[in-house]
Structure 1
Amino acid sequence: MAMGLLAILAITVLGTFLIAGLCLSYAIAADANARGANGSIWGLFAFVFSPIAVPVYLLHRRELPRRTDSPGRLERIAGSIGVGVATAVIVGGIVSPPDPYSLILYAGPLIVLFVPLAFVCCYEPGWRALVA
């Protein structure tokens, strides 16, 4: 019985990370396409090398032209999920004891907190000035 619960927990955690990585990659690819860069390459780079791809893209994004259109609904939702889950895992790793089970216990509630916060901070017009 315990092994079955452990397998369900592992599949849930890995599935969450996979979906968050795909969402973040989609948001980066869509943003790169809207700015005239190669979105396919940036999306693949962001999925394969997530920890270093996001800071590299944010630095490279400064050199790209501004967007002519606002992000679409799907891009905003995907970006919020990707940024929120990544932030929750990082913060959970900092505040939890150093074992994977505690990280999972801390990251779950933090995801619920950080996904809406990422939407407000990254995509709401009045709050965007804080991160731009």
Structure 2
Amino acid sequence: MKLLLFFPIIEIILFVLFGDIFGFLNVILWIIFSAIAGLWLLIDNSGKIQLIKDINKPLDWIFKKVAGILMIIPGFATDFLGIFLLVKPLRGMIWKIMPKNFKNFGGEFGYNNKKKNDERNIIDVDYKNLDE
């Protein structure tokens, strides 16, 4: 959570760094290109066939949409995170890094192999009031 507070500072530092290395025009072109690529990821122009394929993989669909949103946000760190989310072998690593609160959300989709009941001990008890 603390990293989220420093994220704008990291983005500004990366803008200046990449601006010095690649030049101002190339940085602006990269931002425009990444925004167009992010919009392309968000727009569902593939029709019903792709929708039927994606129903079996809802977490892949979510990662693709989040990557599109991250690529629309101007900045190099968000672009790299978006590209990182698009690479399938790296998604499992991301899923292991995420906090436990978010893991329970997608545990049924195959990235979290633990069952919800394995994490809690549930004791089913019947009681009778002896005072009556």
Normalised TM-score (structure 1): 0.33
The structure number with the bigger radius of gyration is 2
Structure 1 or 2: more helix by fraction: 1
Q: Which has the higher contact order (CA 8 A, sep 6+)?
A: 1
